Structure 1
Amino acid sequence: MRTSLNITNKLNLISQMQGDSAFQILEYDQLNGSKNVDLAVQLNFMRESGVKLKQVRIILDDSSVRLESGALSYLKGDIEIHNKIGGPLGLGKKFLTSKVTGETMFKPTYSGTGEIFLEPSFGHYALIELEDDEIVVDDGLFYACEESVEVGAAMQKSISSMLLGNEGVFQTRLTGSGIVVLELPVPETEIFKCKLNKDVLKVDGNFAILRTGDIEFTVEKASKSIVGTATSGEGFLNVYRGTGEVWLVPTVSVYNELLRKGLSEISNPSGSYGKDEE
């Protein structure tokens, strides 16, 4: 297998996973190339804040991977690029899936031996290995996978989840065996990976970004009675039942509030402690 990239102290390997192809997440130590003073100040602030540029590298060894359209930065080696349309029926299926999930219509396949580098980003990534399994993820999370993994659409199974779940009628479904790259809204260290064993998880909000195929998703009232729902301060909850895993990103709401209101406005929790009495 070709591994000709020289990873120096300026480009660090922070995660990797090996299947038919090797998937690596690389991180730039720092960026120093700006000639613009304003941009240099921003880069210095990002460096002090720990914000680092990342890039996904995939090493093919007579193997194939499927990428999100537009994700490619550059490649080298004996690699062919092709799109499998599958005739009018296959084209119609791809069009329908792209419309209902929000994912791009075509996900090109790269086959051969060599190295692929995806677009660098300040975002966050996770590597997952499926073993004859199924996961349902939020739209926009899919980034790349081995060709053995099928990318499709999962329809919500209950009326409540369709109308009240804020997840849309369809989500992206990944099935099969192989490695998947997901683009995350927060670092993987901030994800709470909740394991269920014939159990129930209730979430106030739509910050569950992944669930395994054996988990049932519904939306239910917080309390069985109207009075109980009103007095609890909660309306409807997203409910996950079964055996499997659900990924939660509770810090997303904090980041969104920081962007909207600033630090001082969210320094107190939503409870009554610390608030002035009338």
Structure 2
Amino acid sequence: MTFVINNLLDNSNTVIKEKLGSFTVLEYIKDLSTTSVTDATAQYYMSHSNMHRKQLMIELNNSEIMMKAGAMQYTVGRMEMTTGIKDAGGAVRSFFGGAASGTGAIKPLYKGTGTILLEPTYKYIWLIDVDNDEVVIEDGLFLACETSLRIGVTARSNLSSAVLGGEGLFNMSASGKGVIALEAPIPSEEAVVVELQNDELKVDGNFAMMWSNSLNFTVERSGKTRLGSAASGEGLVNVYRGTGMVWLAPLAAYS
């Protein structure tokens, strides 16, 4: 590389929270760009509530990544950006696939050698190593991934999950081997991961953020009868059956 980025990694206000593959999560200890007493007061309480700006840095070395549309802040180096769409048919498939899963129609590909910085966020950035597996991801969490992963759209097993549970019919899925970055509503330290072995998990609410595609997902009454469901006070619950894993955000229901 023939470039140097100064005052980023060598900045005393910046810490590296996590690094996996070509992805690095940066966190800013304080927001030094406040310009008013009101902003300064808000920043003080935010910093004491674990609310720090985070930024995803991606380093390419003759490699390629896929990214959420509009997420790029700046790039340095010799890279080319493409849509990954080769014809009109691909554009139509991408549009409907993105609309169905709520992830955006076109996800740009960046290929070459250099460094990419994404827009800062107050949400939490997760780095997930998908190791010859397939995971289903809740709408809106996708940030970026290595193109060794296959990104697709997974349909729900039946209509009940959409009609009864207020969920969409489709979700984004990632399969194969590679790293994916997600923008989550909670820190990874707060996530509860349930491992099922031919068993079932019932969740009252939409706070399952990610799950193995091997699981069968439905929405059902919490009791065997309508009266039983009403008596329990739960009504409808999301049910995951089979063998696999479910990532839950128990302290911040995902919406």
Q: TM-score, normalised by structure 2?
A: 0.92
1:252 aligns with 2:255: no
Q: CA deviation at 1:240?
A: 0.3
| Corresponding position of 2:153 | 153
| Corresponding position of 2:15 | 12
1:180 aligns with 2:183: no
**How far apart, in 1, do the equivalents of 2:247 and 2:9 lie?**
34
SS at match of 1:50: coil
| Corresponding position of 1:60 | 60
1:43 aligns with 2:43: yes
**How far apart, in 1, do the equivalents of 2:226 and 2:196 lie?**
29
Q: Tell me, which stretches of 5 or more residues in structure 2 are unaligned?
A: none
Q: Is the 8 A contact 2:9 2:15 kept in 1?
A: no
**How far apart, in 1, do the equivalents of 2:97 and 2:196 lie?**
29
Matched to 2:50, the amino acid is G
Moved more, 56-65 or 8-17: 8-17
**How far apart, in 2, do the equivalents of 1:196 and 1:122 lie?**
32
**How far apart, in 1, do the equivalents of 2:68 and 2:119 lie?**
11
Q: Is the 8 A contact 1:75 1:114 kept in 2?
A: yes
Moved more, 5-14 or 105-114: 5-14
| Corresponding position of 1:140 | 140
**How far apart, in 2, do the equivalents of 1:127 and 1:50 lie?**
19
Q: Is the 8 A contact 2:74 2:117 kept in 1?
A: yes
**How far apart, in 1, do the equivalents of 2:23 and 2:124 lie?**
15
Q: CA deviation at 1:121?
A: 0.9
User: Equivalent residues in 2 for 1:42-191 (5 A)?
Assistant: 42-191=42-191
Q: Is the 8 A contact 2:124 2:183 kept in 1?
A: yes
Identity of aligned residues (%): 38
Matched to 1:38, the amino acid is T
Change in 2 beyond 3 A, CA 1:154/1:3: farther
Change in 2 beyond 3 A, CA 1:238/1:40: same
Q: CA deviation at 1:161?
A: 1.4
User: How many residue pairs get matched?
Assistant: 252
Moved more, 105-114 or 4-13: 4-13
| Corresponding position of 1:217 | 217
Indicate the RMSD between aligned Cα atoms, in angstroms: 1.9
Greater Rg, structure 1 or structure 2? 1
Q: Is the 8 A contact 1:138 1:167 kept in 2?
A: no
**How far apart, in 2, do the equivalents of 1:227 and 1:108 lie?**
50
Q: CA deviation at 1:225?
A: 2.6
Query: In proportion to residue count, which structure has more helix?
Result: 1
